[in-house]
Chain A
């Protein structure tokens, strides 16, 4: 990719964000955009871990929840400034991810999946049971909106101008990370842990780093979510939500930063578009996971592009490039 094409992409993204923000008048659409943005941050983080690093987390909703509840409890219950609560949430999630990650990342494949899954369920149970702290199953209300230099971001349209630049920043940061030495080491880790080690990649440290990194993304998304909705309940941080995040990564394409944008957008909009979707939601998510992983393991866009290319080569009687 040439530098100009690379820059063009970001310019296009920024233009699209600004154009949408100016053209749209509907408050509901802004709410939807904001949720897409929050999901994009979550999915990019998970994609760094899952798609690039090849380490699975089936408990990512837990870090999302830790961020949301840190912000929620600190601001609504203790009256702390939201801009102080957010980094506190990041610290809580980061330290938790570190403590869980040190032993968990020694595990591979299935064991890691189960450890993160178990962790996710434990956090969910605590959110439900520690009623004094979290408000229990009925949730935590009265979380204030964010404000920027005295200007309250109390409507979805105003919050849009915070969330989407943040999404852009996160995407740029991740694209940069992926193209850095760390990113190359990550892909090596994904291909073969032994090979990466033999090339002097400290795989244990790298795995821990990317795990904490993606937990921080999730925590940031959680804080934004809490302030966007002004209300949080444990039902937003279930095992099923962790699965939805994995589905978004898989649909958009593993190891694809821009794919994460697509996966999160499609699977956030789809339930809103189809009123009847709600009943079929679970079936559809399950089907997407299976079908994509079986037939298009590189994600929807790249998978379809591969198929088209395959057809073309076949038609021309040429050989496939290896």
Chain B
């Protein structure tokens, strides 16, 4: 009975972290689909989201204001990053783009350290921290916020891609950029949109997780890398795959740290990543290239 309760607890914390990984993985996927770039700065958008929401909340203690303000700010950062760091590139080979986005990630992290310092900041939970007892597991209201809002964001994103003109245009670019240009879609605009959109998703993830962890300048690197693991796990570029990859990764991590050793928790994601890359590089849901 005890182990059952513990397992449920791991499941709850795993799914919560997994939801954040899923949001980050979606960000990777959206940019990859539009540009075939892997944006290594994606994790830093998560960190920027968390820290700017915390700062905004200390200005005006309203969650809605902090959330929307944080997401807007980070979306702007994403757009500026695309404009300044990626558009001027003359030789867009993968190596060049990897080095540039890694450089961007390090740069953004450094600027955040100068702005916010090295200390960790807290954001209060969205609606109190009285734990709820759901069956054998104890759930914090913030866990529910994370899961609920992530689900809403994923549905909204899916609706955007299926139902709106801009979303359909982005999908067209992902299938075949040249054909998309032929029918009058501005691919440059779509690339910009994809950077804004994934920055916004990353920021939302950061703000949601901030009350559960803490906001620190260097939180983004690990979250970003794990989000990427999730994206690869599910199959790069597949939205459903990204969500599934995130949740699987979160639960696997929680189980490993609970049942084996918490010190090796971070190694789980990367061992899974290596396994998937070596055995099935197209991911769980990806088709063959």
**Residue B223 at the A interface, CB < 8 A?**
no
- Contact check, A290 vs B100: say whether CB atoms are below 8 A apart: yes
Report the nearest B residue to A295, measured CB to CB. Answer: B88
CB pair A286–B267 under 8 Å, yes or no, is: no
The smallest beta-carbon distance between A255 and chain B, in angstroms, is: 12
Q: A104-B278, A107-B281, A117-B225 are in contact. Are A283 and B100 (CB under 8 A)?
A: no
Nearest A residue to B111 via CB reads A283
Return chain A residues, CB-CB under 8 Å to B103: 247, 285-290, 293
B110's contact among A122, A129, A283, by CB below 8 Å, is which?
A: A283
A113 to B, closest residue via Cβ? B98
**Nearest B-chain residue to A118, judged by Cβ:** B270
Partner of B100, one of A50, A118, A293: A293
Taking CB as reference atom, which chain A residue is nearest B88? A294
Q: Is B11's CB within 8 Å of the partner chain A?
A: no
Q: Are A107 and B277 in contact (CB under 8 A)?
A: yes
CB <8 Å contact, A103 and B278: yes
Question: Binary interface profile of B, 254-276, with partner A (CB < 8 Å = 1, else 0)?
Answer: 00000001011011011101100
- What are the residues of chain B within 8 A of A293 when measuring CB–CB? 89, 96, 99-100, 103
**Chain A residues closer than 8 Å to B242, beta-carbon distance:** none
Using known A-B contacts A286-B106, A294-B85, determine if residue A122 contacts B267 with beta carbons closer than 8 Å.
yes
Q: Which chain B residues border A281 with CB–CB below 8 Å?
A: 110
User: Which one, B99, B104, B105, B273, contacts A114 given CB within 8 A?
Assistant: B273
Give bound CA distance, A246 to B100, whole Å.
Answer: 11
Identify A279's interface contact among B88, B90, B114, B281, CB under 8 A. Answer: B114
A125 and B90 alpha carbons, distance in the complex (Å): 37
Interface string of B223-244 (1 = CB under 8 A from A): 0010011001000000000000
Identify which of residues 280-314 in chain A touch chain B, using a CB-to-CB cut-off of 8 Å.
280-290, 293-295, 297
Contact with A along B91-116 (1 / 0, CB 8 A): 10011101110111111111101100
Least Cβ–Cβ distance between B164 and chain A, in angstroms: 29
Complex interface: chain A residues within 8 A of B269 (CB): 118
Q: Does B221 interact with chain A (Cβ within 8 Å)?
A: yes
Q: Are A290 and B104 in contact (CB under 8 A)?
A: yes
Complex-state Cα separation, A61 to B270, whole angstroms:
16
Q: Is the CB of A286 within 8 A of B104?
A: yes
A110 & B281 in contact (Cβ 8 Å cutoff): no
Query: How far apart sit A68 and B277, CA to CA, in the bound complex (Å)?
Result: 28
Contact A128 B263 (CB under 8 A): yes
Point out the residues of chain A lying under 8 angstroms from B48, CB to CB: none
CB of A285 within 8 A of CB of B95, answer: no
A282 to B104 CA separation, bound complex (whole angstroms): 11
- Cβ of A171 within 8 Å of any chain B Cβ, yes or no, is no
Which residues of B sit under 8 angstroms from A122, Cβ to Cβ? Answer: 267, 270-271, 274
Give the distance to chain A from B45, nearest Cβ to Cβ, in Å: 15
- Return the CB mask of B208-229 against A: 1 if under 8 Å, else 0: 0000000000000100010011
**Cα distance A95–B266 when bound, in Å?**
24
Q: Is residue B19 within 8 Å, beta carbon to beta carbon, of the partner chain?
A: no
**Most B Cβ at <10 Å: residue of A50, A109, A281, A294:** A294
Q: Which 5 A-B residue pairs are closest in the complex by CB-CB distance?
A: A289-B103, A286-B107, A109-B94, A283-B110, A282-B110
Using CB atoms and an 8 Å cutoff, list the residues of chain B in contact with chain A. Answer: 38, 85, 88-91, 94-96, 98-100, 102-111, 113-114, 221, 225, 228-229, 232, 261, 263-264, 266-267, 269-271, 273-274, 277-278, 281
What are 29 A-B residue pairs whose CB atoms fall within 8 Å in the complex?
Answer: A103-B278, A109-B98, A110-B38, A111-B232, A111-B281, A113-B38, A114-B228, A114-B277, A118-B273, A122-B270, A125-B263, A126-B267, A128-B263, A240-B106, A243-B106, A246-B102, A279-B113, A279-B114, A280-B110, A283-B107, A283-B111, A283-B113, A286-B105, A287-B103, A290-B103, A293-B89, A293-B103, A294-B88, A294-B90
Q: Which residues of A contact B (CB under 8 A)?
A: 50, 54, 56, 58, 103-104, 107-111, 113-115, 117-119, 121-122, 125-126, 128-129, 239-240, 243, 246-247, 250, 279-290, 293-295, 297
- A129-B261, A286-B110 given; name 19 further pairs at CB < 8 Å: A110-B98, A111-B281, A118-B225, A118-B269, A121-B266, A122-B270, A125-B263, A240-B106, A246-B102, A279-B114, A286-B106, A286-B107, A290-B107, A293-B89, A293-B100, A294-B89, A294-B100, A297-B91, A297-B96
